Amino acid sequence: MARLYAIFLIHCPKNFSVIQMARFGLELVPDTSIDKLTSYAVSAEDAGFDNIWVTDHYNNHNVYIVLEAMAASTDTVKMGPGITNPYLVHPAWTASAIASLNEASNGRAILGLGPGDKMTLDVLGIDRDRPLGKVREATEVIRKLLRERRVTYEGDHFKLTGASLRNRPEGDIPIYLGAQGPKMLELASSLGDGILINASHPRDFEYAFNYIEKGATSANRDIANIDVAAYTCISIDHDVNNAKKKALPVVAFIVAGSPKQVLSRHEIPDGNVAKVVNAMAAGDFSGAFNSVTDEMIDAFAIVGTPADCAARIEKLLDTGVTQFVVGSPIGPKKSAAIKLFAEEVIPQFK
């Protein structure tokens, strides 16, 4: 079914292990100093990561300011927002920003675009209406502005009349669409250069590929040309207990925000979910974190030693995933975890 970057040998020795090839990305949340974030980017490039994705939330450092600083200090790693949305930011502004980043990085920009976090948009009084149409039109508008000298566009959400960018890039900038639900997965595979799927378990990707294949087929696209990225929650450390402890808060928030059908897919009992959700609602975050079970961690995170993480990554690649994004929390100590992952995991897949 799935496309795999792999070494295939017709006549393999009996005990030969086939190693699958993948791209690796690193998610960075811009909630610390720009200097420190830039140092992480430099370390990631030196360690062999292919992509750096910087999250875009209004209450952290501005994503493009951070990315420009990273671009000035690196040479080869690709980078971009992972992800931005067309509710808070107009696609014309996004097109200008990503084109500017592409120039600053000498052609290394990538763009992650999706419907945005509903909870964050609610805080800002923004209604996340008709996300499928909004993301589709935003993608079309951004592509047109990056490719065409003048753009006139008549959509349900966006209307442009003779709009233009002075800083259009010479080549295309890859656009990755963030997706989880069936319709958004179909849209992403019909329209995106890549797909960012916020999940960590093979079961979720087996489910997702049903819709990815459907969307690609409907658009007459070859699925081999779509980079499918597992945007994961990972915590790596030689001490499994330390790794698990660091992952608890992230997993708790994932559980609290997951749709019922996702929780059912992983056969997580309603009573266990209720303990996490009720503690969160009461502001008892410690209680919520302590209510996270091992089955929740297995469903929504990749936790453990380098060997543990490599084994899960291999299972994800078996489903058809072609890029693995190391996402929050990364590990008990971020710098050490990035180094550990780069030294003991990435070489197994390169």
For the segment 217-272, what is each residue's pLDDT rounded down to a tens digit?
999 999 999 999 999 999 999 999 999 999 999 999 999 989 899 999 999 999 99
Confidence at residue 11, expressed as pLDDT on a 0 to 100 scale: 32
- Residue 98 included in any domain: yes
pLDDT computed for residue 253 by the predictor: 93
Residue 90 sits in which domain range?
20-240+301-349
Q: Is residue 264 part of a domain?
A: no
First to last CA, the chain: 22
So what's the pLDDT on residue 350?
79
| Residue 143 is assigned to a structural domain of this protein | yes
Give the residues of the chain that fall short of pLDDT 70: 1-20
Position 296 in a domain? no
Residue 249 lies in a domain: no
The two most distant CA atoms of the chain are separated, in Å, by: 64
By the 8 A CB rule, do 150 and 163 touch? yes
* pLDDT value of position 20: 60
Match 């990631």 to its residue by tokens. 44
Please state the domain count of the chain. 1
Q: Is residue 172 part of a domain?
A: yes
25: β partners = 51, 325
pTM for the full predicted model:
0.91
